[in-house]
């Protein structure tokens, strides 16, 4: 028997809920492994401290967290938009936070603390673009005080134009964006129209 659109949507929502954020877990594993063996990785062969390796590694962890957490969230919600909205004849929002907002309205759901989470996403877009297009350099007119408030640490502490997350904040950022995908997927999965009950992954 051919599945109805409702059946297909239920299956898709269930699959997304179960597996949608797994790529975040993979990036977190890689970064955690790097952080846990940080001293060994960044030392000279003789075991002495290497200023250069330490700098390169810290920048790499931060840049990886920034680029991958944003890109994975962007990819996640791109797929959601393509599935749920491609036949709605609407212009796809260019910015990720607006894209997410569109899907929240479509499903009639909300995310906890969405206003603050949206600020993180919007700032992360600027940081991601800096890493991808400008070798990590950010224009000097960025509001650094606002950046500190949003990211909960001074990301310009080490360089005036090259923002860098701490090792701990890099891990937290990946988890933070994963939680957005997780919460959204769960809300769609257990929404009032699909008849599902809350279950664990």
Quick check: is 45 in a domain?
A: yes
Residue 193 has pLDDT above 60, yes or no: no
Quick check: is 200 in a domain?
A: no
Q: Say how far apart CA 40 and CA 60 lie, in whole Å.
A: 16
Q: 51-85 and 114-134 are packed helices; what angle lies between their axes, rounded to 10 degrees? A: 120
Quick check: is 199 in a domain?
A: no
Quick check: is 195 in a domain?
A: no
pLDDT of res. 173: 98
Quick check: is 99 in a domain?
A: yes
Range of the domain at 105: 5-189
The pTM for the full model equals 0.91
Cβ pair 16, 80 in contact under 8 A: yes
pLDDT in tens, 5-36: 888 899 999 999 999 999 999 999 999 999 99
Quick check: is 77 in a domain?
A: yes
pLDDT in tens, 92-134: 999 999 999 999 999 999 999 999 999 999 999 999 999 999 9
Question: Per DSSP, what are the bridge partners of residue 43?
Answer: 49
């Amino acid at each position: 028997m051919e599945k109805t659109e409702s059946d297909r949507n239920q299956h898709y929502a269930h699959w997304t809920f179960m597996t949608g954020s797994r790529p975040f877990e993979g990036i977190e594993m890689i970064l955690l492994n790097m952080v846990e063996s940080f001293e060994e990785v960044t030392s000279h062969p003789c075991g002495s401290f290497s200023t250069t390796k330490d700098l390169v590694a810290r920048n790499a962890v931060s840049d990886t967290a920034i680029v991958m957490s944003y890109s994975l969230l962007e990819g996640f919600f791109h797929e959601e938009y393509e599935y749920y909205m491609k036949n709605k004849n609407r212009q796809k929002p260019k910015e990720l936070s607006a894209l997410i907002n569109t899907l929240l309205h479509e499903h009639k759901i909300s995310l906890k603390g969405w206003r603050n989470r949206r600020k993180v996403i919007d700032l992360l877009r600027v940081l991601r673009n800096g890493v991808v297009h400008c070798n990590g350099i950010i224009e000097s007119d960025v509001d650094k005080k606002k950046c500190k408030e949003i990211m909960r640490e001074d990301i310009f502490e080490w360089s005036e134009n090259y923002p860098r997350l701490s090792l701990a904040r890099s891990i937290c950022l990946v988890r933070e964006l994963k939680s957005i995908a997780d919460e959204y997927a769960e809300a769609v999965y257990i929404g009032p129209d699909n008849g599902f009950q809350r279950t664990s992954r």
